[in-house]
Amino acid sequence: MQNFFPEEASLTGAHSGMLGILNRFRISSTLAGITMRSHLYINCRDITPIAPFAKRRALLASIALAALPLPLLAQSAPTPVFGTPGKDAGWIPTPAPMVEGMLRMAGVSKNDLVVDLGSGDGRIPIFAAKAFGARGLGIELNGDLVAYSIEAAKKQGVAERVRFVHGDIFEVDFNQGTVISLFMPPQVNARLLPKILAMRPGTRIVSYVFAMEDWEPDDWVFFDNVQGMLWVVPARFEGNWRIRTEGPNPDSYEVTLTQRYQKINGHFMFGRAKLPLFDANVLADRLRFTLVVGQRRFDFVGNHRGAALEGTLHVTGEPMRRWSAMKTGDVPRFP
């Protein structure tokens, strides 16, 4: 019987093969705590959640789903050939365990639209729909692969949730996607980067093997010592801001923020003192930074609210209070 993932038949055809996949699947997770990283190993005896929203039972079920053989496809669509050349990249499929790992790392749910750029045999949108209930969109330049993917979606019972477009990833609009997956060479990723950074903050990007220029990933997953990476598109917070705090004794501060991807630097004007920010970062549309004055620690967390920023402030030894900020000037913009 032909496997839906034909190049992996030797791995998925037997229980021992599935155990091998499970035992080699390693995760490095950072999103649960932005600055905390840990390496986790998954096997049949000790299943550890690999994302903030993961459940042990769901993890076992979905990894098993990735490893089991799928039905024989109709012969109307040609079987994909490993290494089929393409305009930007040849077709080399992402391994099934990596598909599982990257989508779970991205926290895919039924509320997501998973867009696969260069979707090949359709495995990523189909798996997203079948395992997570997500909607899927595959964009593929090879018409034979598009036909194969459409047949595969029908056979897997997810045709109503998955769509495949025959087109160029640089010409088809994918801005509605909430999770974008890709396995493209570095030069293609570099061309895609400006468009990706312009997407809605919180959009999750997963890439197998290749990075996105100098944008540091927010999370990693490893299979057979090859990495899959996750980035979360950040909102833009750079600029000069005037912060006002609420409460019985309101304060006003001037703060300058510079930003490169999800990394924030800057300083406060505290009276006549110019004080640096600590622990500053962005995750999606959430900004977090800390100011230390003597023995007092000022922890700011905020989000965009139109043209303003709003959030909460915790000062050592004081009740939580709210703050807001208006932009007073621009600073040089980086990616």
Final residue of a domain: which of 232, 265, 297? Answer: 232
Q: Give dist(CA 285, CA 10) in Å, integer.
A: 44
Residues 52, 265, 309: CA angle, nearest 5 degrees: 70
With respect to residue 81, please indicate whether it lies within any of the assigned structural domains: yes
With respect to residue 1, please indicate whether it lies within any of the assigned structural domains: no
Say yes or no: 54 and 32 in one domain: yes
pTM reported for the whole predicted model: 0.77
With respect to residue 161, please indicate whether it lies within any of the assigned structural domains: yes
With respect to residue 23, please indicate whether it lies within any of the assigned structural domains: yes
Q: What is the pLDDT of residues 161-202, one digit of tens each?
A: 999 999 999 999 999 999 999 999 999 999 999 999 999 999
With respect to residue 53, please indicate whether it lies within any of the assigned structural domains: yes
Residue-level pLDDT at 24? 37
Say yes or no: 79 and 227 in one domain: yes
With cut-offs at 50, 70 and 90, classify the pLDDT of residue 271. Answer: confident
Residue-level pLDDT at 107? 98
Neighbours of 324 (CB within 10 A): 16
Say yes or no: 228 and 271 in one domain: no
Say yes or no: 120 and 11 in one domain: yes
Say yes or no: 73 and 93 in one domain: yes
Least confident of 44-58, 108-122, 138-152: 44-58
**Whole-number mean pLDDT of the chain?**
80
Say yes or no: 159 and 254 in one domain: no
Residue-level pLDDT at 42? 30
Is the confidence at residue 222, as pLDDT, over 80?
A: yes
Final residue of a domain: which of 174, 208, 232? Answer: 232
The residue with greater pLDDT, 59 or 145, is 145
The residue with greater pLDDT, 176 or 31, is 176
Say yes or no: 182 and 281 in one domain: no
Question: How many domains does one find in the chain?
Answer: 2
What is the average pLDDT across 103-119?
A: 98
Say yes or no: 109 and 248 in one domain: no
The residue with greater pLDDT, 40 or 253, is 253
Which range marks the domain in which residue 265 is found?
239-329
CATH of the domain at 274: 2.40.128.120
Is the confidence at residue 70, as pLDDT, over 60?
A: no
Q: Give dist(CA 263, CA 314) in Å, integer.
A: 22
With respect to residue 334, please indicate whether it lies within any of the assigned structural domains: no
With respect to residue 335, please indicate whether it lies within any of the assigned structural domains: no
Is the confidence at residue 333, as pLDDT, over 90?
A: no
Say yes or no: 322 and 278 in one domain: yes
Residue-level pLDDT at 97? 95
With cut-offs at 50, 70 and 90, classify the pLDDT of residue 59. Answer: very low
Give the residue from 7, 170, 140, 150 showing the smallest Cα distance to 83.
Answer: 7
Say yes or no: 48 and 174 in one domain: yes
Q: Give dist(CA 101, CA 97) in Å, integer.
A: 6
Say yes or no: 196 and 252 in one domain: no
CATH of the domain at 225: 3.40.50.150
Final residue of a domain: which of 188, 214, 232? Answer: 232
Residue-level pLDDT at 92? 77
Say yes or no: 35 and 177 in one domain: yes
Neighbours of 186 (CB within 10 A): 12
